[in-house]
Amino acid sequence: MVAQHDYAHQLLAVFRTEFNREPELLVRGPGRINLLGEHTDYNGGLVLPASIDKEIIFAIARRNDQTCRIVAENVNQSFTFGLDQLNHSPLGWPNYLMGVVDELQKARLQPGGFELVFGGNIPAGAGLSSSAALECGLAFALNKLYDLGLSTLDMVKLGQRAENQFVGVNCGIMDQFASMFGRNQSVIQLDCKSLHHEYFPFQTTDYVLILCDTGVKHSLGDSEYNTRRSECETGVGILQQYDPAIRLLRDASTDLVDAHRDEMPGKVYQRCRYVTQEIQRVREACEFLLRNDLTAFGQKMYETHAGLQHEYEVSCPELDFLVDQTRQDDTVLGARMMGGGFGGCTINIVQREAADAFVERMSAAYQQAFNIELKCYPVRITDGTSVVAV
């Protein structure tokens, strides 16, 4: 927690310099990881995310007019807009914040103007959902400052709508949900169809979660993502003929998918098979967590990676290399690619006392294979969006 508070003090100093007064509120909006349940969200399935100690801190105070003045401390940029002038900014980052204000206004809630300094330690481009942290943190702060009466779930949905509609990114609800609903030393089993959620214990006394960032983002990511979604929809259309109750792949079983494999064109069978198996994997993995069996849980992570690599085909050589490097390492319980694919991070469960040696070995191997410096981030599971006491 020390680093977080150090950072909060830094933002306080910037706020005082910029606005010549004290902020009324300090809020932390955490990034998130996803332990299992990849590409199941838009199929209405189960995911297993958690909020982490990589976060954005917000120092904010009300204004008594309609002006919003914002300083992005990390990038040393500032932006001002009026509550009645929400125009897209080429800077990019202001759109996530204006999107939140836009959604509050659409909901007939009227926050006033504000002064804000924000910054954090969520690594850029690593797939830890800094955008959700930005949206949820501001929604939480404005809800508190202006007593808007929003529930946690209201703020989650508002953050997702801001990203879908104002920013224009068709994300699912998992990122915002994990950022808001996170709980220390727990993962969230979230049903993306009903939004029912349960917490499962994830004890990391003897183990640490380490993200290994490939440093690559292959350009076919976006187009392939849309292709996967449509392949899943094609599969649902075929299965519906046999069971009209099937609206999403989460409503189907792997057995049903197998029974109709010959009717599925192209790669549709492999995609549907992976998704139905992955949803079942999340259920089984949560049973292992209840028994505190992280070894069995880690095996499920390897199974997920194999499915993403061979059936869903969203991995890439760099991700596969990093996962393969862990297979003969007794200090690693599980590893897989995390996120949409074609780059980004792998997530690894590593024995705590072996963590430094793991990072050293992985970095050397990756440098030799790809001539890219491997960035590794140990992460700790924390509570979700909350007020920071300094």
Distance CA 266, CA 281 (A): 25
What CA dihedral angle connects 120, 123, 127 and 129, to 10 degrees?
0
Catalytically annotated residue among 175, 191, 293, 330: 175
* Under 8 Å between Cβ of 329 and 210: no
How far is residue 177's CA from residue 46's CA, in Å, rounded to a whole number?
13
CA distance 211 to 128: 10
CA angle, 160 as apex, 134 and 200 as ends, to 5°? Answer: 85
CA 252-176-316 angle, to 5 degrees, is: 65
Give the whole-angstrom CA distance, residue 290 versus residue 301: 16
Summary count for the chain: helices (H), strands (E): 11, 13
Six-digit token pair at 186? 């727990």
Q: Does 175 participate in catalysis according to the annotation?
A: yes
Is-contact 81 68, C-beta < 8 A?
A: yes
- What lies within 8 Å, CB to CB, of 283 at 6+ separation is 46
> Catalytic residue positions?
175
